[in-house]
Structure 1
Amino acid sequence: MTSVALLVLRVVLGLILVAHGWQKYFQFTLPGVTASFEQMGVPLAALVAPVVATLELAGGIALILGVVTRVAAGLLALDMLGALFMVHLPAGLFVDNGGYELVAILGAGAVALALAGPGAYSADQLIFGRKAAAKQLVNA
């Protein structure tokens, strides 16, 4: 059941992050996100905005598919850590006040996937699991 739990976590977390990345690209637009980041005091906002938007969109897709899961999840955890300390922490817990509850749970989910890996129902398992199994047979 652990692989089912990891699949659920990957898909739900991935969908939320894809939505946020999509929103940054197509609803707010990159110039709008850059301006927002500048207003929030994010350093190098013109560089950070497209990196964050791309990471959330592509990283979310990677989580859904379970491809390069540990890397994507680790980068997304750093993204959420940055959002926590640069923007949301001073506003308290609740998201309706600009607080950190959403970035905290997204970050925690990303850390869990970075540590646990994608589980059996993933592209990583299809690609790397077979290579690992074949390597074990050769070394036996």
Structure 2
Amino acid sequence: MTTSTSSATSIQQGSPSRLRSWPASPAIAMLVLRIAVGAVFIAHGAQKVFVYGFAGTSGSFAEMGVPLASIAGPLVGLLELLGGALLVIGLATRVVALALAADMAIASILVHLPFGIFAAEGGYELTLALAATAIALVFAGAGRFSIDGVVTQGR
């Protein structure tokens, strides 16, 4: 089997693939990540605020042993609903993502940890994945296709 010298040279030099060299790919990745994770938070926040209501959410939190459930229930519902929307549009992304990561870390520890990893059994797989994604957004930021990106490009 023979290889051309130019092919071997480009492989040895570690030339990037077309996808990696496409300038918009990290920005598109952050957009997709923000929209997907934001949508999940919006859905869970809307469920707490509009389906169960503040009283129902607070009651559920109290049954699960969440401290200060009457405050935590409405606060978490609003954080997830509004924070998810802010992630989708990419506004105040790092601050919002930090708050959501804390929300998911606390939920993992206080509620889901005793049930193991699998969500079907009440475990922490979803809260862990959402916390990890939110932490990634804290460090990476919203990306170019966001309100944060537009604001910072003007500086």
Q: Which amino acid aligns with 1:8?
A: V
Q: Does 1:72 align with 2:96?
A: yes
Deviation for aligned residue 1:128: 2.7
Q: Which amino acid aligns with 1:80?
A: M
Task: Give me the whole-angstrom Cα distance separating, in 1, the residues matched to 2:76 and 2:128.
Answer: 16
Q: Which amino acid aligns with 2:49?
A: Y
Question: 1:83-102 counterparts in 2 under 5 A?
Answer: 83-102=107-126
Task: Give me the whole-angstrom Cα distance separating, in 2, the residues matched to 1:20 and 1:120.
Answer: 27
Aligned to 1:22: 46
What are structure 1's unaligned runs of at least 5 residues?
133-140
Higher relative contact order (CA 8 A, sep 6+): 1
Q: Which amino acid aligns with 2:117?
A: L
Question: 1:40-79 counterparts in 2 under 5 A?
Answer: 40-79=64-103
Q: Percent identity?
A: 46
TM-score (norm 1): 0.92
Q: Which amino acid aligns with 2:30?
A: L
Task: Give me the whole-angstrom Cα distance separating, in 1, the residues matched to 2:47 and 2:60.
Answer: 13
Q: Does 1:6 align with 2:53?
A: no
What are structure 2's unaligned runs of at least 5 residues?
1-24
Task: Give me the whole-angstrom Cα distance separating, in 1, the residues matched to 2:65 and 2:102.
Answer: 18
Task: Give me the whole-angstrom Cα distance separating, in 1, the residues matched to 2:95 and 2:153.
Answer: 16
Aligned to 1:126: 150
Q: Which amino acid aligns with 2:69?
A: A
Deviation for aligned residue 1:64: 0.1
Task: Give me the whole-angstrom Cα distance separating, in 1, the residues matched to 2:52 and 2:72.
Answer: 15
CA RMSD of aligned residues (A): 0.6
Q: Which runs of 4+ in 1 moved over 3 A?
A: none
Aligned to 2:11: none
Task: Give me the whole-angstrom Cα distance separating, in 1, the residues matched to 2:143 and 2:151.
Answer: 12
Task: Give me the whole-angstrom Cα distance separating, in 1, the residues matched to 2:45 and 2:153.
Answer: 29
Q: Which amino acid aligns with 2:26?
A: T
Q: Which amino acid aligns with 1:32?
A: G
- Rg larger in structure: 2
Q: Which amino acid aligns with 1:53?
A: G
